């Protein structure tokens, strides 16, 4: 029972942000498809081939970007809910940590194969990051407001 009380706020935040997360996932999929399939930009190294220069297949990478984006948005809902416990302004700290993540992972992306793949990943992270940083906090608050009305 205690476990359910601990996890309930996180599940409510994920539920409240699901439409927004799916929208961001669709944006990421379209952006990835245009860059990798349409323009033909390089994809990162395939994670299942450690000792070779095998790159992610473009169609698989495009589909995987949707799953990764929606999963990432769900994780950010949990992170935002956790920040509510330790700070009075979770939106501010959530955005600061999101910007720090974009900077650090953007730098790390340059080890993902080719420079073109790193540029593509950084563009993809901006396609995901900017809408996530602006739209998801509203979705969290909307869900919180709706839950308080229903109570």
pTM: 0.82
Tokens of 142: 């909307």
Closest to 17 in 3D by CA, of 147, 137, 151, 145: 137
Closest to 91 in 3D by CA, of 106, 113, 76: 76
Q: What is the mean pLDDT of residues 9-18?
A: 88
CA distance 40 to 77: 33
How many alpha carbons lie under 13 Å from residue 53 in its C-beta half-sphere?
Answer: 4
Q: What is the mean pLDDT of residues 124-137?
A: 91
pLDDT digits (tens, 9 = 90+) for 61-88: 999 999 999 999 999 999 998 998 899 9
Contact by Cβ (8 Å): 22, 126: no
Quick one: pLDDT band at residue 1, thresholds 50, 70, 90?
low
């Amino acid at each position: 029972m205690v476990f359910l009380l601990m996890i309930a706020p996180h599940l409510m935040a994920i539920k409240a942000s699901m439409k927004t997360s799916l929208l961001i996932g669709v944006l990421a999929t379209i952006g990835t498809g245009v860059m990798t399939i349409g323009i033909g930009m390089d994809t990162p190294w395939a994670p299942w081939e450690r000792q070779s220069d095998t790159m992610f297949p473009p169609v698989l990478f495009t589909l995987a970007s949707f799953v990764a984006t929606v999963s990432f948005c769900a994780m950010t809902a949990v992170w935002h809910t956790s920040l509510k416990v330790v700070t009075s302004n979770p939106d501010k700290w959530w955005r600061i940590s999101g910007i720090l993540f974009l900077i650090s992972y953007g730098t790390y992306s340059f080890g993902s194969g080719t420079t073109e793949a790193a540029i593509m990943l950084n563009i993809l992270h901006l396609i995901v990051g900017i809408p996530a940083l602006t739209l998801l906090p509203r979705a969290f608050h909307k869900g919180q407001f709706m839950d308080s009305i229903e109570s």
